[in-house]
């Protein structure tokens, strides 16, 4: 059992790219990428996010990283309708995914410890 991650972006390719970066630091953490409007365009769909939550969950819950606006709302809807114990991290999507991936490799990782670590990414200065 371990905490899983889901990365939600308006662009499926962006989500996959962020997962690619985060996985470098994430050991064997399960990280699912989800994005796109389901019709090949930019957007997010709650059903797809719900499926990603199930795929990422191994019983310890899932921390969700989101990009903008409707990704947040659709992730909220997906969490409400899903049986998976999941929480959205209030963090920038890429930096938060990297922090969460690192935190999830800890043997004592919990849903809240991974979420907190992801949210610490909000304070990262670039210059």
Partner 1 sequence: MTGAGTAAVAAVERVATRLEAERDHLTELDSAIGDADHGGNMARGWRAAADAAADVEDPDAATVVKTTGKTVMAEVGGAAGPLYGGSLVFASAELDEGLTPESAVAFAETYLEKVQDRGDASVGDATMVDALVPAVHTFKKSIETDELPPVEALAKAVEAARRGVDFTVPIRASKGRASYLGWRSVGHQDPGATSTLFILEALLEVAQEHGDVTVADADATSPTIPDEDV
Q: So which residues are the catalytic ones?
A: 10
Query: What does the alpha-carbon distance between residue 3 and residue 96 come to, in Å, rounded to a whole number?
Result: 15
CA dihedral 113, 116, 120, 122 (to 10 degrees): 150
Look up residue 37 and give its DSSP letter. -
Of 30 and 54, CB closest to partner 1: 54
Query: What does the alpha-carbon distance between residue 116 and residue 110 come to, in Å, rounded to a whole number?
Result: 10
Measured from the CB of residue 44, what is the shortest distance to partner 1 in angstroms? Answer: 7
Measured from the CB of residue 101, what is the shortest distance to partner 1 in angstroms? Answer: 27
What token pair was written down for 41?
């365009």
Measured from the CB of residue 10, what is the shortest distance to partner 1 in angstroms? Answer: 9
Residues of this chain that interact with partner 1 (CB under 8 A) are 37-39, 41, 43-47, 69-70, 73-74, 76-77
Q: How many CA atoms lie within 13 A of 26 on its CB side?
A: 26
Of 46 and 96, CB closest to partner 1: 46
Of 60 and 76, CB closest to partner 1: 76
How many residues make up the chain in this entry? 127
């Amino acid at each position: 059992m371990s905490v899983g991650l889901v990365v939600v972006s308006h662009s499926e390719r962006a989500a996959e790219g962020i997962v690619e970066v985060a996985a470098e630091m994430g050991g064997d953490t399960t990280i699912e990428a989800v994005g796109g409007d389901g019709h090949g365009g930019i957007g997010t769909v709650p059903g797809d996010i719900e499926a990603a939550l199930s795929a990422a969950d191994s019983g310890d819950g899932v921390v969700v990283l989101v990009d903008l606006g409707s990704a947040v709302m659709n992730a909220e809807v997906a969490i409400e309708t899903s049986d998976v114990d999941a929480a959205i991290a209030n963090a920038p999507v890429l930096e938060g995914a990297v922090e969460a991936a690192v935190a999830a490799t800890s043997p004592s990782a919990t849903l809240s410890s991974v979420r907190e670590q992801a949210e610490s990414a909000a304070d990262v200065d670039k210059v």
